[in-house]
Structure 1
């Protein structure tokens, strides 16, 4: 991979677009964003800790789920601290290697979360539709392979995307969004054909959505069919409660992601609104996901209560 730069105009120090905030609300916006970040990291960190430390969560479902809060922490840490710093200091400067790293992680998150959600749906499909064969199918080897595939496939596809971007000669120094992405890096080029980049981006998006939506649609339709034909009402309720959190997370992720993409297709949407849509697509899921886990996943709620009770006993003894 060879990076090409035009020495006449390109600088390793890039200017990045501002998120226009009135001086009167800079500190409230910074404080709100900081609280959202701390809440997201804390709650996702608790989920990760519970899955690691609580034996009741040492199951294939939670081994796969472990990847989701991990990806959420990675995404929100990549976006929010730097954005809040720019809002507070009005510096709006980013170094080229940092920009590339941020863009890479943004796309890695967007791709891997789709595959992780598909893996979680597949696990629930096996658990509910083929319960007698669940442990025979979801062996440690299978679970490890599914997790490796979700991260590995996303990683390889994004590496190819950024390799295609890196081949373009760079001469511009302005990032047109408040965070770096593949397309904003492509727009730094001053020459070269970007047709391949555009085609690959569309193919990658289509492939990722087809795999993620296809697997989840198949899994949840089969689960619904099983629930409707099952004679025991308690089994139906358990199945719905088990899957509801994953379905809500998937719907929210798709809504925010699609809104962020479509916002740049309409000229009558303000620049700030477009930027906000992109930010929400990367920060709202990490904020909301652990809340949904806690509300909808009984095993995680129980594990958290057990830890709290142990802490109380230690405190009073």
Structure 2
């Protein structure tokens, strides 16, 4: 029989990173630089949207939530990871583990909700252009954002709260970071209610988001084909193609990562790789994809860069003349 451990006095042990001593410092540098790059990329998108009035439109106001969300997820994952690399200590307190799991799940659910809201915005813009200013008015936009975050905090907080126990039977986390499935495996008592609620939350965020995105994009495709307008078609491809790729990549990554936790036969290495990739790659790729592929953001960023560093540009020009 497993012994009981108090969560207030017991440290948990995260899964080993399996890094050889000679590679610890390079891995630490790489992880630190990756985290810094995520912060710089996402802050650039945030500042570009915030400081340019031309981008104060519903589509970009919704997009503003994505880098905020990505930085939250990255900040929950990377500092603890690189600190444990340097100290070669994979222990973590239960409270810190709980907070990390909460923030990472808020990040995952927030990504689904933000991308779903952006799909709805594109649907209204392309399929109901005459109603766009009414449906996506500042008041309605504010309501959408508030509902998004309230849903996120409520459902995810309850998900993690169901696993919070005074006593646990195990201290080994089966992932390289803390998440709800790993915390659930520490619990001594019956976790059937946790399983059912976890499936509901996964279905709500993954399933409902997928249904809404698929429906809106089918409607967009039908509208573009019916109108037979080249400008409408190019607008749909430009504004929706990138968003759809980002959404589907995140959807399938998180789906298989959660499914892998439900099957004991799933490869632990594959499960860890899928879980980590869902936290590492989107915060890096999202600002690059939206910054490079979205014409208005790209142009306003270049304008903002020249406005902030005018002297450097003049010095370069004078140097060339000399």
**What's 1:196 paired with?**
193
Task: Verify the 8 A CA contact 1:78 1:105 in the aligned structure 2.
Answer: yes
Structure 1, 280-289 or 205-214: larger mean CA deviation: 205-214
Cα deviation 1:104-146 (Å, max 9, x = unaligned)? 1111111121111110000000011111211111111110111
- Give secondary structure in 2 for the equivalent of 1:175: coil
| 1:40-189 correspondence runs (5 A) | 40-167=38-165, 169-189=167-187
CA shift for structure 1 position 258 = 2.6
Task: Verify the 8 A CA contact 1:15 1:173 in the aligned structure 2.
Answer: yes
CA shift for structure 1 position 241 = 0.3
Q: Gaps (5+ residues) in structure 2?
A: 316-322
Task: Verify the 8 A CA contact 1:17 1:92 in the aligned structure 2.
Answer: yes
- The alpha-carbon distance between structure 1 residues 187 and 10, as it changes in their structure 2 partners (threshold 3 A), is farther
1:215 counterpart = 2:198: no
Q: Gaps (5+ residues) in structure 1?
A: none
CA shift for structure 1 position 255 = 2.7
CA shift for structure 1 position 90 = 1.2
Looking at structure 2, the residues matched to 288 and 9 of structure 1 have their Cα atoms a distance apart, in angstroms, of 37
1:303 counterpart = 2:304: no
Looking at structure 1, the residues matched to 266 and 170 of structure 2 have their Cα atoms a distance apart, in angstroms, of 26
Looking at structure 1, the residues matched to 206 and 275 of structure 2 have their Cα atoms a distance apart, in angstroms, of 18
In the superposition, the TM-score normalised over structure 1's length comes to: 0.92
In the superposition, the TM-score normalised over structure 2's length comes to: 0.90
Query: Which residue, out of 230, 252, 255, partners 1:255?
Result: 252
CA shift for structure 1 position 7 = 6.0
Looking at structure 2, the residues matched to 314 and 144 of structure 1 have their Cα atoms a distance apart, in angstroms, of 39
Task: Verify the 8 A CA contact 1:128 1:223 in the aligned structure 2.
Answer: yes
Structure 1, 76-85 or 114-123: larger mean CA deviation: 76-85
Task: Verify the 8 A CA contact 2:42 2:68 in the aligned structure 1.
Answer: yes
Cα deviation 1:226-247 (Å, max 9, x = unaligned)? 1112232122101210111211
Looking at structure 2, the residues matched to 12 and 244 of structure 1 have their Cα atoms a distance apart, in angstroms, of 48
Looking at structure 1, the residues matched to 214 and 83 of structure 2 have their Cα atoms a distance apart, in angstroms, of 40
CA shift for structure 1 position 23 = 2.0
1:285 counterpart = 2:282: yes
1:239 counterpart = 2:236: yes
Looking at structure 2, the residues matched to 8 and 299 of structure 1 have their Cα atoms a distance apart, in angstroms, of 54
- Alignment: residue pair count: 311
Looking at structure 2, the residues matched to 9 and 171 of structure 1 have their Cα atoms a distance apart, in angstroms, of 10
Task: Verify the 8 A CA contact 2:8 2:94 in the aligned structure 1.
Answer: no
- The alpha-carbon distance between structure 1 residues 7 and 34, as it changes in their structure 2 partners (threshold 3 A), is closer
